[in-house]
Structure 1
């Protein structure tokens, strides 16, 4: 029988059990979103499907670790820091977050028209967060079985966890603000299109809200509960939930593409429908067509057009009142909406 000095206290055991319940609940929601994605992924690229598969594997691995942690603390009545997998739960959480951040940086770069400043500003922040995560894992590995009771793995380094959480917060906010601004610049003045843009931006902020909120709470507990063994375990509980909320937000964003496509297709009545534009990554509006509202576009000779632009220049095949022609007159670059609508 385990003696009292080796047994986890009630605060530790209770939070570990609660963490296990939350991991299983989130994994169930993630799997339901993943099934919805796979049912609609016939036209998606292998890159996008591989990304979703990595997220699912990471989520299952993290939930498996949480299950083992519940077994060690709740059934075996031992402290988690005495086990060799003690260094893995935060590390796996950080890796899944880094994968999500890398995907978002790539999408932000595409939405910006492959702007070099996006690559200069955002990837270094992601690398700093990844390095801090790896360093903390190494420090935690060195402390396995040698630390006092109520050991908090986030405190094995004075700088690694604060660096990771604050850099991740800055990166998430920067990505969300940048993409929101770029997408909103694509507004057309048409109510149904602008409403869809607002819905896309809302989903972006909703996807970033929960991970950022949990990071802020974890950081506050990390700095504000140094002298309370019971409250000190709350920072681990909140921080280990961030990767699941990242995954949920991204899957929800990807699954919303079909709804937005259908919305555009219902509104577009021309032969070259806006919905078909949104289905191809490389179909964009001719940049030379910078007409003002109400102006008459000049006819173009397809024989002298650059390759790849003929599909955008066939104004003769469109009705004079076609919504697509009106949008072309406004110089709309539909590709910017492609963050959630194309592969």
Structure 2
């Protein structure tokens, strides 16, 4: 950091305050999403519910450490600019918590890629490799900071900061791209089911895009403004964005379930019209309509007990077993 005579409160205490406000808002959203998850996840396996609870505890500790950092600088050392030179123990601990939480969440997304890809080792290993590099680099840097007394000492490991933040953003983009690639391969030409796949792809894009933006923002702000705390405001949001992205995908299963049930209801109410139309329809069209109806019934029966990624995996397998590969897609062009 710069000397106390050159410190400015707007880009030091000010950005810490703004970052804390944003973190508090995201933590509130996390609490709401966690509550909704445990209200609706009675059929999820115990390890998944326990993992979500563990991630919520980590996020709560992260928020408590942010509060301690703000209290130390703004209350305990009120109008003491010398205190801004040294990082607090809570700030150092948050570095470790952030990378532990991110590693667990990325592992969940990696497992989804494994399911959706049908056991593609290349995709799985690439995601896991990036996640482990980020975890090792983050933990190594976080532990090393306990031996540093000032923020200026961080520059000794500047290359680790740049590499970790760069890999962080790359891992998020690659994870989202891998999920979208696997989902896109599940498309079959059926309008209703392809619409659900598109919705799942949107969730995947949102998972990686926002977190990547904040990772890159943290990297750029530290590289261009290493003497202030702007990079901290970006860095403090990362674990909360990751956890909210995970909870959003888990809680979206009910919305997907309602869409399927709503579609089934419309089809049931319109059945007489379809019956009259089937008399004049071609055999290929009739076969596709029956397969589409069977697929919606299959989804409505099984969606209660699967996650959104597992739903897409079952969707792909069911499509391949119901439809003949020769002329199926051609009839929907």
Q: TM-score, normalised by structure 2?
A: 0.77
- Map 1:69-88; keep pairs closer than 5 Å: 69-77=69-77, 78-79=83-84, 81=86, 83-88=88-93
Equivalent residue, structure 1, for 2:300: 275
Equivalent residue, structure 2, for 1:173: 173
- Map 1:198-217; keep pairs closer than 5 Å: 198-217=198-217
Preserved CA contact (<8 Å) 1:139 1:156 = no
- The alignment partner of 1:278 has SS state of helix
Equivalent residue, structure 1, for 2:277: none
1:289 CA displacement? 5.2
Distance 1:120 1:157 in 2: 28
Distance 2:69 2:108 in 1: 30
Equivalent residue, structure 2, for 1:137: 142
1:286 CA displacement? 8.5
Equivalent residue, structure 2, for 1:256: 252
| RMSD value, Cα | 2.8
Equivalent residue, structure 2, for 1:341: none
Q: Which gives a bigger RCO, structure 1 or 2 (Cα 8 Å, sep 6+)?
A: 2
Give unpaired runs (5+ residues) of structure 1.
Answer: 296-325, 331-343
Distance 1:8 1:39 in 2: 48
Preserved CA contact (<8 Å) 2:20 2:233 = no
Preserved CA contact (<8 Å) 2:55 2:101 = yes
Equivalent residue, structure 2, for 1:291: 324
- State the number of aligned residues: 286
Distance 1:184 1:238 in 2: 32
Equivalent residue, structure 2, for 1:96: 101
Give unpaired runs (5+ residues) of structure 2.
Answer: 78-82, 269-292
Preserved CA contact (<8 Å) 2:176 2:204 = yes
Equivalent residue, structure 1, for 2:111: 106
Q: Which residue, 124, 143, 168 being the options, matches 1:119?
A: 124
User: Which 4+ runs in 1 deviate beyond 6 A?
Assistant: none
Equivalent residue, structure 2, for 1:311: none
Q: TM-score, normalised by structure 1?
A: 0.75
Distance 2:302 2:249 in 1: 19
Q: 1:221 to 1:5 in 2, by over 3 A?
A: closer
What per-residue deviation string (whole Å, max 9, x for no partner) do you get for residues 94-153 of structure 1?
A: 221122111111111111112222233221211111110111112211103xx3xxx267
Distance 1:63 1:80 in 2: 22
1:19 CA displacement? 2.2
Is it true that 1:266 corresponds to 2:262 in the alignment?
yes
